[in-house]
Amino acid sequence: MREGKEEVLLSSEGISRRGLFRNAGKLAIGATAAAAMTAGGLSFLSGAEAKGGRTEKWPWPYVKLDPETTAEIAYNDWYRLFCGAAVVNSVFSQLREKVGEPYNSFPVDAFVFLEGGISGWGTVCGSNAGANIVSNCIIGPRIAESADGMLMGSEMMQWYSEARMPVYMPKNPKVKTEIPKTVSNSPLCHISVGRWMKAANKDLMSPERKDRCARVTASVAYHLVELLNQWKDNTYATKGTIPSKTCGITGQHNCTDCHGSNVPAPPLPKKMTSEK
């Protein structure tokens, strides 16, 4: 199952970053005067770019962070903010101190809702959503100057799905006993948590499950900062792809994991059909 996913992802054609650029420079400009925002310390925005007083100029200023420090912040923040907001805060709280705006203006706590796969629905693991928020806020969206933000987010989800989680061991874990490591084969909370719960035979409200998710959050924060530091050093070469671009439907490539042997064939564009 895991090998199947890797095989397809590795053999599929990589998405050209250049090919993803479109609408570059088409920043949405509101009507509010630039004056209000430039007074707010957003000095990295020029007057022309800041029309509408918004933070939509990329990349956001970034200074390299220590992965271990970031992971420790994420681990401890989990117990207040849970997975998604903890990943965001582990990076943005340091950049608030080191840089200031636009990180001061980002409402991190509002993203507590990413917990439990968005309001407890078990969809995407909040730490993956948080990693995408961070990479896309800092590097920018693919409709701006670079697709690396989205591709780094996608790479984080692939890494998450294939890693033996939790990867990171906090310095002073709240749960002292050893806990199992599991491979989710999925970026979804329900599957990631469910597979771990089954392996550990621990319930959702157990201290071990909570600490497992706090450590997963720390693991994601650690690896995300490793990639961001490479990007800052101009050495980042994304391993990310946009899965839906290569298989005709939005989804990762390990179809049998949910569908078993009965994988539905999506209607394919003529181009993809003729290539088959």
User: What is the rounded distance in angstroms from the CA atom of residue 70 to the CA atom of residue 98?
Assistant: 14
Q: How far is the CB of 244 from a copy of itself (least distance, A)?
A: 4
Nearest-approach distance from CB 43 to a copy of itself, in angstroms? 10
Considering the complex, state which of residue 4 and residue 52 has its C-beta at the smaller distance from a copy of itself: 52
Measured from the CB of residue 242, what is the shortest distance to a copy of itself in angstroms? Answer: 4
Q: Could you write out the DSSP letters of every residue in 256-273?
A: HHHHTT-PPPPP--HHHH
For a copy of itself, give the closer residue by CB, 157 or 224: 157
Measured distance CA(53)–CA(31) in Å, rounded? 9
Of the two residues 37 and 220, which places its CB atom closer to a copy of itself in the complex?
37
Give the count of alpha carbons within 13 A of 70, CB side only: 28
Taking the complex as a whole, the smallest distance from the CB of residue 235 to a copy of itself amounts, in Å, to: 22
Q: How many CB atoms lie within 10 A of CB 74?
A: 34
Which residue, 114 or 225, is less far from a copy of itself as judged by CB? 114
CA distance 12 to 7: 8
CA dist 40 and 59 (Å) reads: 18
Q: Which of 200, 216, 110 is nearest to 163 (CA)?
A: 216
CA distance 56 to 268: 35
Nearer to a copy of itself, 3 or 203 (CB): 203
Give the chain's length. 276
CB under 8 Å to 264, separation ≥6 — which residues? Answer: none
Closest distance of CB 205 from a copy of itself, Å = 5
Q: State the virtual CA torsion across 76, 77, 83, 88 in degrees, nearest 10.
A: -130
Comparing CA positions, the residue from 75, 71, 51 lying closest to residue 223 is 71
CB of 251 to a copy of itself, least distance (A): 4
Give whichever of 141 and 173 is closer to a copy of itself, judged by the CB atom.
141
Name the token pair of 41: 């310390």
Provide the minimum distance between the beta carbon of 176 and a copy of itself in the complex, in angstroms, as a whole number: 20
Name which of 47 and 264 has its Cβ closer to a copy of itself. Answer: 264
